[in-house]
Structure 1
Amino acid sequence: MPQHHLELKKGAVIMLLRNLNQSRLRNVTHMVVTELQRHIIKPNILTGCSKGDIVFIPRIPLIPTDVPFHFKQ
């Protein structure tokens, strides 16, 4: 599995590509980054019923399932 590196800036518009929370953080939720920390992104939600809310998105480890052994990056 290749290394993944994500570079974001304050004010960048981002979109979720997976469900993190069925009630607020669903697939295709648009947000704008308000603060960046080493393991957390703090965005403001732009769409949906939670529009205007500020949330915390934690670092999500990538664990491949296509190999016979398990490791995390």
Structure 2
Amino acid sequence: MLKKEKKDIDPRIVIIILLVGLVCQSLPTIIDVDSDTSTVVYTVIALGFEIIALILYVVDINKNPNKYKK
């Protein structure tokens, strides 16, 4: 039987997800919205993207522990 290869998570994907989260967090300021509701919505969306990026990073550390050792 063939073993499945461990695929590395591309760090560019994590960086892109974090950048999208930062853009979502800064959107209320860019579009000059004074509503608290929209600020909360954009902050929750940004937190969602940042949590996804963190989960991907932790999964990559668990799959490839030697990659992150000094």
Q: TM-score, normalised to structure 1's length?
A: 0.23
* Higher share of residues assigned helix: 2
Larger relative strand fraction: 1
Greater relative contact order (CA < 8 Å, ≥ 6 in sequence): 2
